[in-house]
Amino acid sequence: MEKLETIVSEALKLFSSVDDAAQLEQAKARYLGKAGALTGLLKALGYIPHGLPEVMAYFIGSIAGGIISVAITKKKYKTHEFEQIAKDVLYLLVLSYVVLFVGALVEAYFIVGG
């Protein structure tokens, strides 16, 4: 957040000292151009909308893996309880794939542009 405040204050100083159109274009390119300071920050913010569902999906998937690992380690695979554990893990994995797919849709349509 401090970086953003620094960039904005520097930009305001620069834009207030502009005298002609050429200087204005240079100042604009410095902050809003392809390699501009604000452009870089905005690109980084673009990863957040699809990154959150992806991280959540990976987290759910790892929980499912942990649950099934514990069940196998405790040799519950020979019991009726393992059937319920396997169903729960399957539900978690399906949920993980759905959330990951939503993250992919967000990335494809809102960030990359369809």
Cβ neighbours for 85, distance < 8 A, ≥ 6 positions apart: 67, 68, 71, 76
pLDDT tens-digit readout, 22-33? 877 887 777 777
pLDDT tens-digit readout, 57-72? 999 999 999 999 998 9
63 with 39, same domain: the answer is no
Q: Following DSSP, what letter does each residue of 50-81 receive, concatenated?
A: HHHHHHHHHHHHHHHHHHHHHHHHTTGGGSHH
Which sign, positive or negative, has the C-alpha torsion 98, 104, 110, 114?
negative
30 with 13, same domain: the answer is yes
27 with 68, same domain: the answer is no
Question: What span, in angstroms and rounded, lies between the C-alpha atoms of 9 and 77?
Answer: 63
25 with 57, same domain: the answer is no
82 with 29, same domain: the answer is no
- Domain limits at 92? 47-112
Percent of the chain clearing pLDDT 70 (strictly above): 86
| Lowest-confidence segment of 18-22, 46-50, 63-67, 71-75 by average pLDDT | 46-50
Which has more confidence, 81 or 24? 81
97 with 56, same domain: the answer is yes
Cβ neighbours for 54, distance < 8 A, ≥ 6 positions apart: 100, 103
The answer on pLDDT for 10 being more than 60 is yes
Domain count, the chain: 2
pTM to 2 decimal places: 0.58
